[in-house]
Structure formats: C-alpha cells, structure tokens
Amino acid sequence: MQKIEHVGIAVKELSVSVPLFEKLLNTKCYKTETVDSEQVNTAFFALGENKIELLEANSEASVINKFISKKGEGLHHIAFEVEDIEAEIKRLKDEGFTLLNEKPKQGADNKMVCFLHPKETNGVLIELVMERKVRTE
C-alpha cells in the first residue's frame, strides 16, 4: 500500500456538513458525486496529497444510512492508495483478510475500489483505491 488517499466521514446531510468542513478546513469542496453502487452522495476536499470524503446516504438501504443509525455520524473508513488493486486483493486474501467485494468496483473520484471487512482490522473499514487508467485508443 502507498499513502492514505482519503478519509471517509459519514454525515447525515451534505448541505450542512459541506459548509461546516469548508469552514473547518478553510478550503472549498472541489467535487460532489453520486455513487450509485453504494447509494451515496459524496463531497471531496483536497488537503495537499490527501482528501476528505464526506458521505451522505441517498436511500434508505444505503450502507451509510445503516452506519449512522448504528454508530451516528463520524469516521467511516480510511482509504489507501494501491498501485495494482488485483494484486493487493490477492495478497490480502492470502493473509487471511475478508474482502467485502472480491472484484474491484467503480467508486467515487474515478477510482476502482475494494473494501475489507472491519472485523479483522480492529473495527476500521479499510478501502483500497486505484486510479482508473483512462484508455486512450
């Protein structure tokens, strides 16, 4: 794994939390994006090399909705950048970790992503992210 790519924070309302984080970080949200596969709306802030991702549920069935009703708003996941997500998934499986999705899937911010089950990572949801290579032909 390489650097921490972003930290994900579950919030009830982006309309409240985006202005709050703009004030806190003294920087503007540079992007909002809906991720249909996760049923979330996301908002991103850049801090040097790292990012903060705010996540809001956009449906009752969203994992963020479940998370907030169980634990309340707050730290949701830490995302690590990897160079080769398939290789990293294989390495982690061989090490005995459980992956929530065995095949990388489309995440926010033009990334391929994969999540690790928090039961084996001290309760912290871990996301692997790999920049999607844009085909040029």
The contact set with Zn ion (CB under 5 A) reads 8, 53, 79, 127
Q: Which residue is nearest to Zn ion (CB)?
A: 8
Question: Is 24 in contact with 43 (CB distance < 8 Å)?
Answer: no
Closest distance between Zn ion and the C-beta of residue 109, in Å? 8
Q: Based on CB atoms, which residue is closest to Zn ion, 57 or 135?
A: 57
Q: What is the Cα–Cα distance from 97 to 117, expressed in whole angstroms?
A: 7
Q: Based on CB atoms, which residue is closest to Zn ion, 94 or 126?
A: 126
Q: Which parts of the chain fold into alpha helices (H)?
A: 14-25, 63-71, 85-94
Q: Based on CB atoms, which residue is closest to Zn ion, 78 or 97?
A: 78
Closest distance between Zn ion and the C-beta of residue 53, in Å? 5
Closest distance between Zn ion and the C-beta of residue 127, in Å? 5
Q: Positive or negative, the Cα torsion across 29, 33, 34, 35?
A: negative
Closest distance between Zn ion and the C-beta of residue 34, in Å? 14
* Backbone dihedral region for residue 106 (phi beyond 0: left; psi -120 to 50: alpha; all else: beta): beta
Q: Based on CB atoms, which residue is closest to Zn ion, 53 or 81?
A: 53
